[in-house]
Amino acid sequence: MDSPFHFSDGPSADQLAIERLVGPLAIIDIRAKAEADPDAQVTPDDIAAWEALYGPLPEGAIVALLSGWDAHV
């Protein structure tokens, strides 16, 4: 698990309360962009497109990126 500690001086995974590890999941799919541009990143437009389909991101949402690059691992 990649905890907030990876990106900052925040808590490591063993220090997080279990309640912080679950929540509604939003998967932002940028596979088409990433196929055309291996350096593609999630943009506000990608999030707006997701919200146009599914509604506003839920409170406490866990946002995941789907780039398609898992096929190369």
Catalytic residues: 6
Integer angstrom CA distances of residue 28 from 10, 12, 14, 24, 46: 25, 25, 27, 13, 7
* Local structure of 35: helix, strand or coil: helix
